[in-house]
Amino acid sequence: MYQFIKKFHNFTIQDEKGKSYNLSVQRAIYQSLPMDKKKMHPLVSTITQTDDYLQFIDKINNKNIKLVEEVKKEEVKVVETKEATGDP
C-alpha cells in the first residue's frame, strides 16, 4: 500500500485538452465496515401475497386477454373484407 501511495501521490496526469492535474493519495484512517447488519422491514417482498395485489394482477391479465381477443377478431374481419373485395 505504501508503494502505491509513494508512486501516485503528487503524480501529474493530463486530460485530452492538455490540462494538468496533480493526484493526492492519502491513507484512510478507519477502514473497517460496520459490524451489525441492518434488519429488513417485515413487509419487504410481501406485496405478492396480498389480496389487493392478486386482484389487480387478475384484472390486468383479464384485460390483456380481452385485448388480444379483440385484435384477433379485427384481424379476421380485415382478412374477410380483403377476400370479399378481392384485394391481395
Q: What is the DSSP string of 46-78?
A: -GGGSHHHHHHHHHHHHHHHHHHHHHHHHHHHH
Kindly provide the b/e burial profile for residues 27-63, where b requires at least 16 CB atoms within 10 angstroms of the residue's own CB.
eeeeeeeeeeeeeeeeeeeeeeeeeeeeeeeeeeeee
Residue 11 has pLDDT above 80, yes or no: yes
All cell numbers assigned to 40: 429488513
pLDDT, residue 20, reads: 92
Percent of the chain residues past pLDDT 70, beyond the cut: 94
Average pLDDT over residues 8-19: 88
Q: What is the mean pLDDT of the chain?
A: 81
